[in-house]
A and B are shown apart, each in its own frame.
Chain A
Amino acid sequence: KAGVTQTPRYLIKTRGQQVTLSCSPISGHRSVSWYQQTPGQGLQFLFEYFSETQRNKGNFPGRFSGRQFSNSRSEMNVSTLELGDSALYLCASRDGYLAFFGQGTRLTVV
Chain B
Amino acid sequence: AQTVTQSQPEMSVQEAETVTLSCTYDTSESDYYLFWYKQPPSRQMILVIRQEAYKQQNATENRFSVNFQKAAKSFSLKISDSQLGDAAMYFCALRDDKIIFGKGTRLHILP
A-side contacts of B46, CB under 8 Å: 101
Cβ–Cβ contact A101 & B44, under 8 A = yes
Cβ of A42 < 8 Å from any Cβ of B? Answer: yes
A-B contacts, CB under 8 A, total: 40
* Given A42-B101, A98-B50, A90 contacting B45 (CB threshold 8 A): yes
B-side contacts of A33, CB under 8 Å: 98-99
* Given A90-B45, A97-B33, A104-B43, A48 contacting B95 (CB threshold 8 A): no
Q: Tell me the chain B residues, 63-111 only, with Cβ under 8 Å from chain A.
A: 91, 95, 97-104
Among B33, B44, B91, contact of A43 (Cβ-Cβ < 8 Å)? B91
Q: What count of chain A residues pass the 8 Å CB interface test? A: 20
Q: Tell me the chain A residues, 80-104 only, with Cβ under 8 Å from chain B.
A: 88, 90, 92, 97-104
